Amino acid sequence: MTDDLIISLIGMPGSGKSTVGKVLAERLALKLVDADGLIEAQEGQTLQQIMDGRGNAVFRAIEEQVLTDMALFPSVISTGGSVVYSEKIMARLTAASTVVYLRAQLSTIEYRVSLAPQRGIASDGDQTLQDLYKERVPLYERYADIVVDCDQATPEEIAEHITQHISQRISQRISQTNS
């Protein structure tokens, strides 16, 4: 089942992409690719340092370069919350992977983000978390193959839900191929 399986997790900061990604990768015996980690490794800076020192536009350009250049192989890709602003990144991910939107209510996102105030969140100047939420949710919904609500569910429950969806999609693909 995992020979050519690539799953890309998208969603707001605090939606659980990194945590769910770890559980899902373990469950499916896949590698976990942390896109934000790739950016930080390439640049030798944290996301927040990049945004503070070079600005959001430069950060987004780096993000696009890293995600369009990175090797794609069977894995779970935990993306940054801002990937949906790049049509180039999303065209690549939607063509090569199953895109899963981890959907959470704004109140959940605000609470979780408050637990990690040093977290780098890509935004333009005076945008609030609510502004970003309103701007990004339609983009997440546009690109998602699967949408999973994650306000109340544990990472294990979310990973199980995704695994079931993926299994159904693979079964449908096989039956279409055989008919």
One-character DSSP codes across 86-100 = -HHHHHHHHHHSEEE
Task: Please give the Cα distance from 54 to 56 (Å, whole number).
Answer: 7
What confidence category does residue 2 fall into, taking pLDDT thresholds of 50, 70 and 90? Answer: low
Q: What is the pLDDT of residues 8-65, one digit of tens each?
A: 999 999 899 999 999 999 999 999 999 999 999 999 998 888 988 998 889 999 999 9
pLDDT higher than threshold 60 for residue 120: no
Pairing of strands 98-103, 31-34: unpaired
One-character DSSP codes across 2-52 = -TT-EEEEE--TTSSHHHHHHHHHHHHT-EEEEHHHHHHHHHTS-HHHHHH
Domains in the chain, start-ordered, CATH in brackets?
6-178 (3.40.50.300)
More confident residue, 169 or 54: 54
Q: Which one, of 131, 130, 80, lies nearest residue 108 by Cα? A: 130
